[in-house]
Amino acid sequence: MSRELFQNDAYLRACDAVVVDSNPKEKWFSVDQTVFYPLGGGQPGDTGVAFHKNDAEFAIVDTRRARDTGEILHFVDEVTELPESGTELHLEINWERRYLHMRVHSCLHLLSATVPGKITGAQVYAGRGRVDFDVRYPQEKHYIAESLNVLIQKEARRISRVCTRAEIEATPSLMNNLSVPLPEGVDVIKLVHFENLDIQPCGGTHVANTMEIGEVKVDKIESKGKRNRRVSISLVDTAVEPNY
């Protein structure tokens, strides 16, 4: 299994790696360690570039986790020959896109702390995102936006820690997401905790401090069924860089 370097440091932009396996037909390869986040939890898989030792390069257009093995697969496009097992590579993510995902994903955590309702779905995009809530009457747009921005300005630090499956199942307040169940067969779960604001199981990548999210706006609130309400948000400034 690949060492998932993004789990310990979401700000790593590059790493050296060795090819473990490849599939020319499906156009993917796996490596011994990676900074590329795979599609999951509503967050898209990373894109970026891989460099051969001889300076040849090819684009990584998507990153996904294999359903059967859990291995992280790096998908390529328009490449004539995939690197063989044992090939040394230098991997670099599309940092601008990833950082937008981190800011939005973190904002959606605060959104779930603002709207009183269980989460039934969520999606992260580059610069915008949405959460579906099991709630009949959410607050007005201006109230949610104001509350979100107040939470962001609190400069809450992100504290990542792990918890056992039994501990999470015994704490109902942590089980707020109805759309993403705890992974089967996994006994140690990652928690993302923005101090004094929100805490929930999540394997995605997030900012280190809520201030990095920047100002956000609520674009719309939609009805998605008898009880589901979709709240869509976007970043006001998508050009912010880390400053922590």
Bridge-partner residues for 158, per DSSP?
Answer: 194
Token pair in block for residue 148:
């979100």
State the CATH class of domain 98-235: alpha beta
Indicate the domain borders of the chain: 3-93, 98-235
| Residue 54 to residues 19, 27, 48, 88, 92, Cα–Cα distance (Å) | 15, 21, 18, 10, 16
Task: Answer yes or no: same fold for 3-93 and 98-235.
Answer: no
pTM over 0.85: yes
Alpha carbons 128 and 146: distance in angstroms, whole number: 17
Question: What is the per-residue pLDDT for 185?
Answer: 61
Q: Which fold has domain 3-93?
A: Elongation Factor Tu (Ef-tu); domain 3 (2.40.30)
Q: What angle do CA 16, 19, 25 make, to 5 degrees?
A: 135
Question: Could you count the other beta carbons within 10 Å of the beta carbon of residue 236?
Answer: 11
**Residue closest to 66 by CA, chosen among 77, 57, 75:** 75
Q: What angle do CA 127, 130, 135 make, to 5 degrees?
A: 160
pLDDT tens series, the chain, 244 aa: 889 999 999 999 999 999 999 999 999 999 999 999 999 989 999 999 999 876 778 899 999 999 889 899 999 987 768 888 999 999 999 999 999 999 999 999 999 999 988 899 999 999 999 999 998 776 789 999 999 999 999 999 998 788 777 887 777 667 666 556 666 666 777 888 899 888 888 889 999 999 999 999 999 999 988 778 999 999 999 988 886 5
CB within 8 A of 37, min separation 6: which ones? Answer: 6, 43, 45, 46, 63, 93, 98, 101, 204, 205
